[in-house]
Amino acid sequence: MNRSGTSELESPREVILRVATSLFGERGFPATSMRDIAGEVGILAGSLYAHIDGKETLLLEIIEQGIAEYIDEATRALAGNDDSEARLRALIRAHLDVVVRGPRTTKIVFHQWRYLGEQNRAHVRRRRHEYEDIFIQVVQAGVDDGSFAADLDVRTAVRSVLGSLNWTPEWLRTDGADPIDVVAQRLADTLVLGLCRR
């Protein structure tokens, strides 16, 4: 292990990304400098540029990797499941599983993407819409098959669910009194039952 707590198996770029994720998640993107990142990695600030061309590039890469993880987890959660309510519950649980693995990454992915330049923000919006569309398809199928209320505004419902999920890093505790299975079940009950037929 070196100063930044890394093993010899990590590449310099992986170390930089991990440290940047930690600092952006803890302090926020604007309050973290390249000098801060370099100090945590244990190199001179100028040496960072041999591996990354700037702070925004780091932010974009963290966000892209984060969204990809959410999409991949959601896709796996839906495999072999045809029941609309069960599919939505599986998506909620998959989202929480990713949050538990990386709460700081979640804060960056869903709350700090606005610090990107316009071109990168547009790219991230497209990726976020890909993830949102997975939920929209599941909820729309539930409206169509009668699992969810016929008068449900699907897009508003999905954005309400995702809005709730995206704030879970602020309160979700892996070391709390209730195991994550119990918390996930309670949260799914709260979010899904509001969509069901009146």
pTM of the prediction?
0.85
Residue type, 189: D
Model pLDDT, residue 27: 93
pLDDT for residue 3:
45
One digit per residue, the tens of pLDDT, for the chain of length 198 reads 344 555 567 888 899 999 999 999 999 999 999 999 999 999 888 888 888 888 999 999 999 999 999 999 999 999 988 899 999 999 999 999 999 998 889 889 988 999 999 999 999 999 999 999 999 999 999 999 999 999 889 999 999 999 999 888 888 877 767 788 888 888 888 888 777 765
**CA atoms lying within 13 Å on the CB side of residue 146:** 0
Q: In the chain, what are the domains? A: 12-50 (1.10.10.60), 56-193 (1.10.357.10)
